[in-house]
Structure 1
Amino acid sequence: MDFLPLAEDLLAVRSTADRPDDLLRALDLVLEEVGPGFTVERFESRGKPSALVYVGPRRPHFRVILNGHLDVVPGTPDQFLPRRDGDRLIARGAQDMKLSALVQAQVFRALAPTSPVPLALQLVTDEEVGGRDGTAHQVAEGVTGDFVVIGEHSGLRVVTESKGLVGVRLDATGRAAHSAYQWLGDNALHTLTRAVDAVLTAYPVATAEAWRTTVTLARITTTNQALNQVPSDATAWLDVRFPAEDTDFTGRTADQVAAHFTALCPPGVTATVNSVEPPHRVVSDHSDVLALQRAAREQGYTGELLRKHGAADSRFYFQRGVDAVIFGVGGDGQHGPDEYADLTTVEPYRRALTAFLTSLT
Structure 2
Amino acid sequence: MTIDLREDPITLTAALVDIPSVSLDEAAIADVVERALREQTSGFEVLRHGNVVLARTDRGLPTRVILAGHLDTVPIADNVPSRFDKDDAGAQVLYGCGTVDMKSGDAVFLHLAATVADPVCDLTLIFYDGEEIAAEYNGLGRVEQELPEWLEGDLAVLGEPSGGWIEAGCQGTVRVRLSTAGTRAHSARAWLGDNAIHRLAPILGRLSEYRARQVDIDGCVYREGLSAVRVSGGVAGNVVPDAAEVDVNFRFAPDRTVAQAIEHVREVFAGLDLSFEVTDSAPGALPGLTAPAAADLITSVTSHGGGGVRAKYGWTDVSRFAARGIPAVNFGPGDPNLAHKRDEHVPTAQITAVTAMLRNYLTGQI
Same fold (TM over 0.5): yes
- Whether the 8 Å contact between 1:293 and 1:303 is mirrored in structure 2 is no
Identify the residue that residue 246 of structure 2 maps to in structure 1: 236
Give the one of 299, 313, 319 matched to 1:309: 313
Note closer, same or farther for the CA distance 1:262–1:65 as it changes in structure 2 (3 Å cut): same
- Whether the 8 Å contact between 1:258 and 1:272 is mirrored in structure 2 is no
Identify the residue that residue 138 of structure 1 maps to in structure 2: 143
With the length of structure 1 as denominator, give the TM-score of the two structures. 0.81
Please state if 1:105 is matched with 2:110: yes
Note closer, same or farther for the CA distance 1:55–1:146 as it changes in structure 2 (3 Å cut): same
1:217 alignment partner, SS class: strand
- Give the AA of the match of 2:240: V
1:220 alignment partner, SS class: strand
1:291 alignment partner, SS class: helix
How far is 1:64 from its partner?
1.2
1:234 alignment partner, SS class: strand
Please state if 1:169 is matched with 2:171: no
**1:67-99 deviation per Cα after TM superposition (whole angstroms, max 9, x unaligned):** 1012223352x2233221221112222112111
Aligned length: 337
Identify the residue that residue 186 of structure 1 maps to in structure 2: 194
Matched residues in 1 for 2:71 and 2:287: separation? 25
- Give the AA of the match of 1:54: R
Note closer, same or farther for the CA distance 1:85–1:52 as it changes in structure 2 (3 Å cut): same
Identify the residue that residue 160 of structure 1 maps to in structure 2: 168
Matched residues in 2 for 1:62 and 1:27: separation? 27
Matched residues in 1 for 2:306 and 2:104: separation? 21
Please state if 1:295 is matched with 2:300: yes
- Whether the 8 Å contact between 1:298 and 1:352 is mirrored in structure 2 is no
Unaligned runs of 5+ in 1: none
Give the one of 26, 50, 53 matched to 1:51: 53
Q: Percent identity?
A: 28
Identify the residue that residue 350 of structure 1 maps to in structure 2: 355
Q: How does 1:80-91 map to 2 (within 5 A)?
A: 80-86=80-86, 87-91=92-96
Matched residues in 1 for 2:276 and 2:183: separation? 19
Matched residues in 1 for 2:317 and 2:278: separation? 20
How far is 1:336 from its partner?
2.6
1:145 alignment partner, SS class: coil
Please state if 1:65 is matched with 2:66: yes
- Whether the 8 Å contact between 1:62 and 1:144 is mirrored in structure 2 is no
Identify the residue that residue 259 of structure 2 maps to in structure 1: 252
Q: Alignment RMSD, CA only?
A: 3.0
- Give the AA of the match of 1:319: A
How far is 1:120 from its partner?
1.0
- Whether the 8 Å contact between 1:51 and 1:124 is mirrored in structure 2 is yes
Unaligned runs of 5+ in 2: 1-6, 87-91, 215-220
How far is 1:262 from its partner?
4.2
Q: How does 1:266-281 map to 2 (within 5 A)?
A: 266-267=272-273, 269-281=274-286
- Whether the 8 Å contact between 2:250 and 2:265 is mirrored in structure 1 is no
How far is 1:225 from its partner?
4.2
Which is further off, 151-160 or 276-285? 276-285
- Whether the 8 Å contact between 1:297 and 1:303 is mirrored in structure 2 is yes
